[in-house]
Chains A and B, each alone.
Chain A
Amino acid sequence: MRLGFNFTLGDTYDMAQRLIAEGHIDYCEFLIDNFFCVDPDELAKAFDCPVGLHIMYSKFLEADRPTLVDFAARLRDYIDALNPIYVSDHILRFSHEGRAFFHLGEIDYAAEYESVRDKVVQWQEIVGQRIHFENYPSIMDGGLEAPAFFERLMKETGAGVLFDASNAVCAHRNCGTPFEAWRNVIAKAQHFHVAGYRQSLIEPFISLDTHAEALAPDTLAFLRNFRSVFDKPGATMTYERDDQIEFDDIVVDLKALRDLFGQPEETRHDLALTA
């Protein structure tokens, strides 16, 4: 299992370099659309390691085709320049009746499957690339349907799943989605996310995917129990931290992941070749 770190903006550049230099991570994941005004060749030289490209704001379920074509054209410049290990995106809602959510919404997996599937097919065709779609940290009980949704989506569209382990932990805690229900998805996924979560401030408590805390014991237990399903040749796991960014705390979590998965067998160079 290769370990990576999410690089979202320049203020963590020096820390990401140090994580690479000290061998705590094997690759970096760019939140790529944050860098659409940075020259692709400059970005390609930013880190001496392979990269993944994670898309935040394509809004491919809501945007019109000309907007997506323009977004994809810019994304393509970075794919060509950076030769990423993977390209990933999100299946979620950014707005309702033209009004933006500040805490993004989960889709209705049963009612929206066909339309989402068609948009996934269209989005991959526009980008010209297989895309790995991230699962949501479900709160409401509709999240019980997420594993079957992603399994079917992979089968019918050729898309991958960027399986976020801590999102699955939140879903388990919030709506009881069994870890076992994700087994086939995890088995087919090559790329993973993991992060800390916290509880809501009021009861009945729900777990929120915050990327600001240490990895929780149940997240590490989930990884341990499904270790052989997660780990496979070419697999990557990005540790996400977007707040409370302290180098030593991050290293503690990365070491826990190294202890769990062991040192990767492939070198950074091999990883780049798997792209």
Chain B
Amino acid sequence: MTLLSLPSRTDRDLYPALMSPQLNAKYPADHKAFVRIDVSLRIYWHTLFDICPELLELSGPDGMSIFRPFMAWAEEKKLAFDWSYYLWVYVWLRQSPFKERLLADDKYLRSIMAASAARWAILDRGRSRGIVIGCADTADLVIGWKCRNVRLGREIELIEPEEPLPAPSDLFGYFTLPSFELDIFPGWQSLAR
């Protein structure tokens, strides 16, 4: 095992690298710290491509032509990697060399909006029951509902409204629902970074 000049006694020593392929590359590949960071990075990878496998059609099977530049961009922008993780991937894709292919088929956007709605329903611990996500690229809405019954999981709905809501001022917007009904439109909130 290579001697390591970077601090690596505790997990905390590695926190900044756990979401950074660039920082991981500074650790020798035969060191436990490298493997621990690799484990963390793989989960960001799988969280993206296991849930949105269509994106691999754009990138190729290892996903790296999307994953590495996106993670570097996310680091620069200090993205929080909250439930909106997937939406930010779309924001990045839209300004990447993949833009034309991305916009040529709305399956990518649908998958990404559904993934973010599901992630909100999984992770949010506030009192809201549901989230509605809208995008300036489509009139469709995606709703994520938290678990409402002991026999059910989270539920994701795609809505094609007869009367479209106004488009969000940013590329994406969202609002949350205090009950298990879509009966309000309080206006769009912008994504937090």
Q: Are B125 and A13 touching (Cβ within 8 A)?
A: no
> Does A37 lie within 8 Å of B9, measured CB to CB?
no
Contacts of B1 on A, CB cut-off 8 Å? 204
Choose one: B9, B78, B127, B154; the contact of A142 (CB below 8 Å). Answer: B9
Chain B residues, CB < 8 A from A141? 9-10
B44 partner residues in chain A, CB cutoff 8 A:
102
B 141-162 to A, binary, CB cutoff 8 A, 1 in contact else 0: 0000011111111100000000
Task: Give the residue name and chain of the A residue nearest to B31 (CB).
Answer: A204
Bound CA span A12–B40, Å? 27
Least distance between A68 CB and chain B CB atoms (Å):
10
Contacts of B8-32 to chain A: CB distance below 8 A: 8-16, 18-19, 29-32
Partner of A98, one of B14, B16, B78: B78
Residue of A nearest to B42 (CB): A201
Report the Cα distance A74→B124, complex, angstroms: 14
Of the listed stretches B79-87, B94-102, B103-111, B167-175, name the one at the interface; the rest are far from the partner chain.
B79-87
Q: Nearest-CB distance from A59 to chain B (Å)?
A: 8
Give the complex CA separation of A46 and B152 in angstroms.
12
Q: Does A260 contact B (CB under 8 A)?
A: no
B36-A204 in contact (CB<8A): no
Residues of A within 8 A of B123 (CB): 57
Decide yes or no: A140 and B36 within 8 Å by CB, A9-B147, A37-B129 being known contacts. yes
Main SS class of interface, B = loop
Q: Which residues of B contact A98 (CB under 8 A)?
A: 78, 80
B35 touches A203 (CB 8 A): yes
Contacts of B81 in A (CB 8 A): 99-100, 102
Q: Which among A100, A140, A204 is the interface contact of B11 at CB below 8 angstroms?
A: A140
* A42 engages B18 (CB within 8 Å): no
Chain B interface extent, by class: 35 or more
B30 in contact with A105 (CB, 8 Å):
no
Q: Is the CB of B35 within 8 A of A101?
A: no
Q: How many angstroms between the C-alpha atoms of A112 and B81 in the bound complex?
A: 25
For residue A70, CB closer than 8 A to chain B, the reply is: yes
Q: Is A208 in the interface zone, CB < 8 Å from B?
A: yes
User: Taking the complex as formed, is A71 at the interface, i.e. its CB lies under 8 A from any CB of chain B?
Assistant: yes
Q: How far is the CA of A263 from the CA of B1 in the complex (A)?
A: 47
State which residues 227-267 of A face B: CB under 8 Å: none
Is A83 interfacial (CB-CB < 8 Å)? no
- On chain B, the residues within 8 Å of A42 by CB distance are 149-150
Q: Is A23 close to B, CB under 8 A?
A: no
- A139 touching B149 in the complex, CB below 8 Å, given contacts A100-B81, A101-B40, A200-B35: no
B47 within 8 A of A: yes
Given contacts A13-B151, A98-B78, A100-B80, contact A203 B36 (CB under 8 A): no
User: In this assembly, does A108 line the interface, its C-beta being within 8 Å of a C-beta of chain B?
Assistant: yes
Interface string of A139-150 (1 = CB under 8 A from B): 111110000000
> Judging by beta carbons under 8 Å apart, are A96 and B30 in contact?
no
B14 contacts A140, CB within 8 Å? yes
The verdict on A99 contacting B80 (CB below 8 Å), with A57-B125, A108-B12 known, is yes
For B47, what are the chain A residues with a Cβ–Cβ distance below 8 Å? Answer: 102
A35-B147, A35-B150, A37-B146 known; A102-B129 Cβ under 8 A: no
Contact between chains at A101 and B19 (CB < 8 Å): yes
Closest-CB distance, A57 to chain B (whole angstroms): 5
> Can you name 15 A-B pairs with beta carbons within 8 Å?
A10-B149, A70-B127, A98-B80, A99-B79, A102-B40, A102-B81, A103-B18, A105-B12, A106-B10, A106-B12, A107-B11, A108-B12, A174-B32, A204-B30, A205-B35
- Interface on B for A, CB 8 Å cutoff? 1, 8-16, 18-19, 29-33, 35-36, 38-40, 42-44, 47, 78-82, 123, 125, 127, 129, 146-154, 180
